[in-house]
């Protein structure tokens, strides 16, 4: 998937940062062409490990194709490129929330911090959901070195390859009902989302809001998506 670094460098990161501050997510429409998205989706059967979890056993219901840092090899430049642009945003959020953790400028240094903290399990994956599959509301926030932003992408076409399977977020603000958010992803679209907590500016200043995300039940067909996380799990 050549050119992804140049494509990211060409994005308006000032506008992306503003959208993340206001909404807790930022859409990246057309990050991949439909052909590129389908090419990446076909890589799923070649990766490992593969699991199929039941709804009662896990928030994940479907086939999950995890990756080691070298498989597929194209993903590491993605992680490095996204991290490089998102680290300044993450550090600003940390400062606003008065959290002492700061993120290095480059991903390898951050992953070294992960290893020192006992976080060695990669979280990024391709995910294949078929009729009746869904993913419940969840976060990936285990460990002492959690990056507050992650990337999701859709690699199949709504209305053609599958129906249902909407990407859903909730945002819980103190003393308020949860705010539901549906991200209108098409094939090749990506979004940067808050992985756990983020600062929100209210009338009395900043406070923390809690974010979770899910995928609604696939009614028909097959939905393939990408979860790209920038930290590893314990």
Residue 52, pLDDT above cutoff 70 = no
Flag the least confident range among 33-37, 170-174, 195-199: 170-174
Residue with tokens 């930290």: 231
Residue 50 confidence class, pLDDT cut points 50, 70, 90 = very low
Residue 74, pLDDT score: 62
Could you give the 3-state DSSP secondary structure of residue 127? strand
User: What residue spans define the domains of the chain?
Assistant: 4-229
User: 4-229 architecture in CATH?
Assistant: Sandwich (2.60)
> DSSP label at 152?
E
Residue 133, pLDDT score: 95
Residue 3 confidence class, pLDDT cut points 50, 70, 90 = confident
**pLDDT for 151-182, tens place per residue?**
999 999 999 999 999 999 999 877 777 889 99
> DSSP label at 46?
G
Give the Å distances, CA to CA, from 224 to 36, 202, 208. 13, 37, 32
Evaluate the CA torsion angle 192, 197, 79, 38 in order and state its sign.
negative
Pairwise CA distance, residues 78 & 230, whole Å: 10
Q: Which residues on adjacent β-strands are paired with residue 152?
A: 191, 227
């Amino acid at each position: 998937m050549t050119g992804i670094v140049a494509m990211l460098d060409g994005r308006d990161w000032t506008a992306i940062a503003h959208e993340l501050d206001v909404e807790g997510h930022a859409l990246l429409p057309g990050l991949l062409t439909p052909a590129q998205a389908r090419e990446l989706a076909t890589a799923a059967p070649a990766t490992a490990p593969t699991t199929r979890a039941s709804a009662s056993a896990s928030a994940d219901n479907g086939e999950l194709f995890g990756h080691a840092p070298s498989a597929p090899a194209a993903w590491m430049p993605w992680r490095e490129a996204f991290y490089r642009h998102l680290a300044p945003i993450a550090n600003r959020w940390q400062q606003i929330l008065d959290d002492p953790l700061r993120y290095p400028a480059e991903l390898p240094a951050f992953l070294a911090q992960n290893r020192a903290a006992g976080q060695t399990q990669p979280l990024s994956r391709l995910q294949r959901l078929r009729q009746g599959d869904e993913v419940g509301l969840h976060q990936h926030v285990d460990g002492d070195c959690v990056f507050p932003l992650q990337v999701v992408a859709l690699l199949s076409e709504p209305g053609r390859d599958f129906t249902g399977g909407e990407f859903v977020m909730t945002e819980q603000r103190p003393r308020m009902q949860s705010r539901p958010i549906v991200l209108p992803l098409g094939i090749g679209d990506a979004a940067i989302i808050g992985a756990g907590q983020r600062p929100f500016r209210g009338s009395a200043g900043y406070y923390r809001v809690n974010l979770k995300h899910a995928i609604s039940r696939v009614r028909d067909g097959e939905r393939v998506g990408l979860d790209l996380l920038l930290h590893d799990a314990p």
